[in-house]
Amino acid sequence: MKRNITVNICGSLYNIDEDAYTLLNKYLDDTRAFFSRQPEGKEIADDIEWRVSELMSEMRASGSAIVTIEDVQNIIQRVGTPEEMGETNPGPDLATESHGNETVPPPPPATNRGVKADKKLYRDFDHKMLGGVLAGFGQYFGIDPLWLRLLAVVLAVVSWGTAIILYILLWILIPPAATPADKLRMRGEPVNMESLGDEIISTNTGTDCRRNDASFINSLLHLLCVLLKGALTVLGVMAILMLGGTGLWMIVMMVWAIISADSFIHEVFGIDYGAINLGTVLPPVPTWGLFVSGLVCLGLTIYLLIYLMMRMAGKTGRLPKWRLGTTMIAWVASLILSAVCLGAIIGNITRESSIFNRTMTEYRQHRDQQAMAESLRELRNNGWTLEKSRNVKHFISNYENYQGVRGRRYLHAYHPSGDMDYEVVRHIKVAPGQYVLTAAARTDGNGAEIFAVNGAGHRNFAEIPAYGSEGGGIWLEATKFVEADTVGTSVEYKQMKRIAKVNDDKGYGWSRVIVSDITVGPDSVLTYGVTNCSPSSIWDGTWLSASDFKLTPDNKNSSNKSQ
Amino acid sequence: MNVDNAKSQMRKGMLEYCVMLLLRREACYASDIISQLKEARLIVVEGTLYPLLTRLKNDNLLSYRWQESTQGPPRKYYSLTEEGDAFLAQLDAAWNDLAHTVNLIKS
């Protein structure tokens, strides 16, 4: 069966086979191109086209209703290729003339005619196993593709499949030998009327050289190809779905972030996603439905738009009605399905949006609890007990150490309005005797104390000087020391200089706090620590810090009352 | 140089003269010229004629008019112009000269 085309040549209509049409079209194009180099070329080409038409009408008059490829070849034989017609070229080989047989001439050796074309790399469809890449290489290098295929299998195994990616890349990059001219170029044969005609005939009559080797290796390769094709298809579909799914997921995440707008910027990426069940928010069926129908809809829209544009530009013919109809129906269906799925998802999100907020709140509480638990654990590990804590979230900080050492931990409490209770103590056992407790501490208000209580309940304390977060006793001392020491080489000097330099030479407000005259009784019990809940004074600050607690025996034993 | 090529060159040189001779006898279509030239084995491929006709026409040696045809489109009906007649007369003289010379040499 052959497709049949009606052509109009110089005002006459002819029925012509599709392959014959291809050849004739190529012939007339070539002629036109050949003579276009001459000033009167168009006229000559028109005359030749006219002659072709005349010969075809003669054939029709003699009874052949349809122009076949053989007819076209005869016409070309009679009228001659453009190269033979050229006046400036050396004359045609008249050897054939003396044979006198014009209708069935022996095919001239192809290499004599036309310009010898360079071999070009194409994918060889006629001998393909998978994509025709290796068959094409075989044509290009003149090797039996079987060896290339075996080599490729070995490569694929040895390279752990990397070679497959290379193959796919080549598959994409190398063009297929789609037209008869491509096939000729692929084989390195010249592209001219005769060769092209032969190629078209051989392709159409099925006498092409497609090899149906039933050898063991070939059937094995075939099996491998079928498997590989299947695997590639599955992989490709999966990749598309995964890519699309990821993209959709990201969009959903962003929408979600906007919906749960409450300080989402810093929450959304630190969020404990496990705490939120996305499945209840994004029902799987509408999500996938939206994804698939959205893809189909997008593809069809682009297809229809391109078709419409081509139609308007007159670059393409009218699509068959049934095809246009099914495409339109599919497009509308995918559009409706997308809308329905989107509606379902949006409805679900609106319904479940309270879940977001609740979950966010829960999450934040959970996180704070975790931070508190972490701080508590750290306190305990260092022998501290959280005696009182109200409205205090963090008990430890590490940003503003008086030596400027980042990461050194110290006790710390803060509340924006100071409405908090904070008391951290150590319960220890020491030998009975007199002791002095020193600590480094700071605060921004009155009423914070370093204290010690002995077994008998006697309480000694010293208030933390309220320097705020700049200056401080330790810093002042260090600054004075640095100013006084003109030599500046001792280890102590270096330490002091470091302290003086803290916070751009401003200090962080730390002072040395000394609690003296601590008497530990025979029970050896002592409790010391830091608090803002003093029994004797009222707290009016918002934060306090303390560290470097040191209990030393008071050897002087003098009852010098000082703070 | 083989004999075929030499023959071909000779015929080629004669082609223009012969086409004009045919047209002096009677005005005719390109297809008529082709069939007569083919009979005389002066051309192999028909396409050769068209560039020649176009060139002669552009040199004002011949002209054509469109003639309606019973089947197919109108056809070009070629005839010699006066210039063409004069040109052909010169060619005639040259040919007689040439034939005379050749015969003289041969005998």
Which tens digit of pLDDT belongs to each residue from A440-450?
999 999 999 99
Structure token digits, residue A177:
């030998």
Q: A195-218: per-residue pLDDT in tens?
A: 777 776 666 554 444 445 556 777
pLDDT, residue A452, reads: 93
Average pLDDT score over residue span A422-439: 92
pLDDT, residue A369, reads: 81
Q: Does A11 touch chain B (CB under 8 A)?
A: yes
pLDDT, residue A281, reads: 61
Give the pLDDT band of residue A423 (cuts 50, 70, 90).
very high
**DSSP β-ladder status, A421-429 and A433-443:** unpaired
Q: Does A419 touch chain B (CB under 8 A)?
A: no
Kindly list the residues from chain A whose CB atom is less than 8 angstroms away from the CB atom of residue B6. Answer: none
Q: Would the pLDDT of A261 be above 60?
A: no
Kindly list the residues from chain B whose CB atom is less than 8 angstroms away from the CB atom of residue A78. Answer: 45-46
Q: Would the pLDDT of A284 be above 60?
A: yes
**DSSP β-ladder status, A12-17 and A433-443:** unpaired
Helix axes B3-25, B82-106, angle to 10 degrees: 140
pLDDT, residue A203, reads: 61
Q: Does A144 touch chain B (CB under 8 A)?
A: no
CB pairs under 8 A between A and B: 89
d(CA A481, CA B92): 131
Q: A490-515: per-residue pLDDT in tens?
A: 888 888 888 888 888 888 999 999 99
d(CA A94, CA A100): 10
Question: Exposure of A348 by Cβ count < 10 A (0-12 exposed, 13-18 middle, 19+ buried)?
Answer: middle
- Predicted complex ipTM exceeds 0.90: no
d(CA B31, CA B28): 8
pLDDT, residue A557, reads: 54
pLDDT, residue A103, reads: 39
d(CA A397, CA A533): 20
pLDDT, residue A98, reads: 38
pLDDT, residue A213, reads: 52
pLDDT, residue A529, reads: 94
Residue type (1 letter), B98: L
pLDDT, residue A96, reads: 37
pLDDT, residue A442, reads: 93
Q: What are phi and psi of A366, to 5 degrees?
A: -55, -40
pLDDT, residue A352, reads: 67
CA-CA-CA-CA dihedral for A497, A502, A506, A511, to nearest 10: -80
pLDDT, residue A275, reads: 47
Q: Does A88 touch chain B (CB under 8 A)?
A: no
Kindly list the residues from chain A whose CB atom is less than 8 angstroms away from the CB atom of residue B48. Answer: 80, 84-85, 87, 92
- The residue among A437 and A275 whose pLDDT is bigger is A437
Kindly list the residues from chain A whose CB atom is less than 8 angstroms away from the CB atom of residue B40. Answer: none
Q: A469-483: per-residue pLDDT in tens?
A: 888 899 998 888 888
Sheet order of strands, B75-80 included: B28-29, B75-80, B62-67
Greatest CA span in chain A, whole angstroms? 145
The DSSP bridge partners found for residue B63 are: B79
Cα A6 from chain centre? 52
The DSSP bridge partners found for residue A519 are: A434
**What are the percentages of helix, strand and coil residues in chain A, rounded to 5?**
50, 15, 35
CB distance B7–A94 less than 8 Å? yes
Which of B16, B50, B55, B61 to mutate: most A Cβ within 10 Å? B50
pLDDT, residue A273, reads: 44
Q: Does A65 touch chain B (CB under 8 A)?
A: no
| Radius of gyration over every alpha carbon of chain B, rounded to an integer in angstroms | 15
To the nearest whole Å, the CA of B50 is away from the closest chain A CA by 6
Sheet order of strands, A511-520 included: A396-397, A410-414, A543-553, A433-443, A511-520
CB distance B47–A96 less than 8 Å? no
CB distance B44–A85 less than 8 Å? no
pLDDT, residue A259, reads: 59
Closest-CA residue to A86 (of A44, A121, A52): A44
Closest-CA residue to A454 (of A509, A521, A508): A521
Give the pLDDT band of residue A556 (cuts 50, 70, 90).
low
pLDDT, residue A424, reads: 92
E-assigned strands of A139-181? none
Give the pLDDT band of residue A268 (cuts 50, 70, 90).
very low
Portion 90-129 of A in contact with B at CB < 8 A: 90-97
CB distance A91–B72 less than 8 Å? no
Kindly list the residues from chain B whose CB atom is less than 8 angstroms away from the CB atom of residue A84. Answer: 44-45, 47-48
Q: A234-252: per-residue pLDDT in tens?
A: 888 788 777 777 777 777 7
Structure token digits, residue A524:
């050896």
Q: Does A162 touch chain B (CB under 8 A)?
A: no
Q: Does A86 touch chain B (CB under 8 A)?
A: yes
Question: Exposure of A228 by Cβ count < 10 A (0-12 exposed, 13-18 middle, 19+ buried)?
Answer: middle
Q: Does A84 touch chain B (CB under 8 A)?
A: yes
pLDDT, residue A122, reads: 82
d(CA A11, CA A405): 97
Q: A34-87: per-residue pLDDT in tens?
A: 887 777 888 888 888 888 888 888 888 887 788 888 888 888 888 888 777 765
Contacts of A432 (CB under 8 A, 6+ apart): A520, A521, A522, A524
pLDDT, residue A214, reads: 54
Structure token digits, residue A23:
């050849």
**Report field, pTM of the whole predicted structure over 0.80:** no
To the nearest whole Å, the CA of A309 is away from the closest chain B CA by 36
To the nearest whole Å, the CA of A181 is away from the closest chain B CA by 23
d(CA A76, CA A80): 5
Q: A297-338: per-residue pLDDT in tens?
A: 888 888 888 888 887 777 767 777 888 888 889 889 988 988
Q: Would the pLDDT of A487 be above 50?
A: yes
Closest-CA residue to A118 (of A188, A67, A176): A188
Structure token digits, residue A279:
């499945």
| Radius of gyration over every alpha carbon of chain A, rounded to an integer in angstroms | 47
Q: Are A388 and A421 in contact (CB under 8 A)?
A: yes
d(CA A311, CA A315): 6
Q: Would the pLDDT of B74 be above 80?
A: no
d(CA B87, CA B90): 5
Q: Would the pLDDT of B69 be above 50?
A: yes
Q: Would the pLDDT of A110 be above 60?
A: no
- b/e per residue, A421-435, with b = 16+ CB within 10 A? bbbbbbeeeeeeebb
- The residue among B101 and A344 whose pLDDT is bigger is B101
Which residue numbers of B have CB closer than 8 Å to A's CBs? 4-5, 7-9, 11-12, 30-31, 34, 41, 44-48, 50-55, 58, 71-73, 75-76
Report the range of poorest mean pLDDT among A213-217, A531-535, B78-82. Answer: A213-217
Report the range of poorest mean pLDDT among A109-113, A462-466, A488-492. Answer: A109-113
CB distance B73–A50 less than 8 Å? yes
CB distance A97–B45 less than 8 Å? no
Average pLDDT, chain A: 78
Q: Please name the residue of chain A whose CA is at the shortest distance from the CA of residue B48.
A: A85
Kindly list the residues from chain B whose CB atom is less than 8 angstroms away from the CB atom of residue A31. Answer: 47
d(CA A483, CA A497): 9
pLDDT, residue A208, reads: 41
For chain A, give the percent of residues with pLDDT over 70: 81
Residue type (1 letter), A239: A
Closest-CA residue to A57 (of B72, B13, B11, B94): B72
Closest-CA residue to B72 (of A236, A56, A319): A56
Alpha-carbon dihedral sign for residues A256, A261, A265, A269: negative
For chain A, give the percent of residues with pLDDT over 90: 12
Question: A124-129: which pairs have CB atoms within 8 A and are 24 or more residues apart?
Answer: A124/A177, A124/A186, A125/A176, A125/A177, A125/A178, A126/A177, A126/A183, A126/A208, A126/A209, A126/A210, A127/A209, A127/A210, A127/A211, A129/A221, A129/A222, A129/A225
Kindly list the residues from chain B whose CB atom is less than 8 angstroms away from the CB atom of residue A61. Answer: 71
CB distance A48–B58 less than 8 Å? no
